[in-house]
Structure formats: structure tokens, C-alpha cells
Amino acid sequence: MRLLLIEDNDELRASLARGLGSVGYLVDTAADGAAGWQAAAAAEHDLIVLDRMLPHLDGLEILRRLRRSGSTVPVLLLTARDTVQDRVEGLDAGADDYLVKPFAVAELLARIRALGRRGAHRPDPVITVDDLEVDTVARTVRRAGRRIELTPKEYAVLEHLILRAGAVVTRMELVDQVYAGETAGTSNIVDALIARLRRKLHPPGSLPIIHTRRGFGYECSVER
């Protein structure tokens, strides 16, 4: 599940990106309203976590533009304001949920899971490549009907690859997506994650799903 986090507080944005990434979400970030609107308008995300008060373009205006464009992507609005009028304005602008700062990360995660289950803008959250099935809402993986347990980082790598099935994804792109600003992310760590994924996803007798494109990166596909 790919999220867009639009938050102008550098410390909070980095902390939330790390926390969301640590449980397996792919997280893109934007530090102001103008950059946030540009990223949101690209319509590449399953859910948007949006701060209400942003420089350059207000969060409510981003919401209104999204809804006028016909986008139904779920939006969780973050705000320091807690009056009834503020909540009404946010919901009327098109927010699906509303969370008042300061908040517990556990509550943010619970609300994201709830919004993800609705899946209103994605008819089928299950992506398949041959007999591999990845449910991007439940974040579960099956191959030939058998459940495969993955760590959050392993899942994040696999989801990013399967969302771009048939395309080559570079190591550094995977670092950027999976580690979301964490300094620990390196191409060598991604290689180790890929190795673990292959051991889990490629049982004896099965067709390989993840291929190395030497000098470029990795690709998720089936070659018969």
C-alpha cells in the first residue's frame, strides 16, 4: 500500500515516514502544499495523510482540488485544530477521517488500516503475477494458495516490485521507497532483502518471480 504524507514539520514528517515504513507501507513525502498537490495529482497513491495547515497551498484546498478532479483516494486529515467547525470544514472539503495533533502513532496506524479496508478507489486490491497474489490492503502474500509470511521490509520490497511488474526497478529506487529517509538503507541491504524474498517465494519446482537485471536492478515477472 503506497501512502503520500504531506506534512511541513520536518521532524514529524521524518518520524512518521520511518514509522509507516517500518510496518511495511511505501511512503512518499512532501514538505509543503505546492509539492503535496503535485504529488497527489499524479494519482499514484492508495491513501493520503494530509496536514491541514501547509505553506504555499492550504491542506483544505488540496482536498477540494482532489475531489473536484474526481479523485476518491482516501484522505486522513491531520490538524492542530479541534473545534467542531474545523472538523466540519475538513469533512465537507472531502476528508475521509480526521486526526487531531498530538496523536499516538498506534491510532494513526489504526485509522490508516480502517481507511485502507474501504478500498473505495481501487476495485481490486489483490495484484497477481502468475500464481503469486499480493493483497495490498491486508498486506498478505500467497503463492499457489499458500500463505507466505514476510517481514515489513520484505513485504515493502515485494509490493513495490509487483506494482511495477514487468518494469525494471533500480536498487536505489527500492532504497528510497522502502527506507523512506532512514540512513540505514543501502543497496547492499536491498540485495539481502531480495535474497530472503527469493528463498520464500521460489520453492523448488516453481518459476522464479524476481529476476536480477544485471547493471540495472530487479524485475517482477514470470519467464516461461
The CATH number assigned to the domain holding 130 equals: 1.10.10.10
Beta-bridge partner residues of 77: 50, 98
For residue 59, the number of C-alpha atoms closer than 13 Å in the C-beta half-sphere is 28
Secondary structure (3-state) at 123: coil
**For the sheet containing 168-170, what is the strand order?**
168-170, 217-220, 210-213
State the Cα–Cα distance between residues 100 and 10, nearest whole angstrom: 18
* pLDDT higher than threshold 60 for residue 119: no
If asked whether residues 18 and 71 sit together in one domain, one would say: yes
Task: Assign 208 a pLDDT band (cuts: 50, 70, 90).
Answer: very high
Q: What's the pLDDT tens digit per position in 29-47?
A: 999 999 999 999 987 788 9
Range of the domain at 40: 2-118
Cβ contact 56:21 at 8 Å: no
Global pTM reads 0.64
If asked whether residues 162 and 202 sit together in one domain, one would say: yes
Choose the final residue of a domain: 79, 96, 118: 118
Among the listed residues 88, 3, 11, the one whose alpha carbon sits nearest the alpha carbon of residue 46:
3
State the Cα–Cα distance between residues 17 and 11, nearest whole angstrom: 10
If asked whether residues 179 and 114 sit together in one domain, one would say: no
If asked whether residues 68 and 101 sit together in one domain, one would say: yes
Mean pLDDT along residues 144-149: 92
What is the structure's pLDDT at 25? 85
If asked whether residues 79 and 148 sit together in one domain, one would say: no
Task: Assign 26 a pLDDT band (cuts: 50, 70, 90).
Answer: confident
Backbone φ and ψ for 45, nearest 5 degrees, come out as -120, 150
Cβ contact 56:79 at 8 Å: no
Beta-bridge partner residues of 135: 126, 140
CB atoms near residue 212 (< 10 Å): 14
Q: What's the pLDDT tens digit per position in 156-192?
A: 899 889 888 888 988 888 887 776 555 555 668 888 9
If asked whether residues 99 and 133 sit together in one domain, one would say: no
What is the structure's pLDDT at 120? 45
If asked whether residues 36 and 107 sit together in one domain, one would say: yes
If asked whether residues 150 and 185 sit together in one domain, one would say: yes
State the Cα–Cα distance between residues 155 and 168, nearest whole angstrom: 18
Beta-bridge partner residues of 212: 218
Beta-bridge partner residues of 170: 217
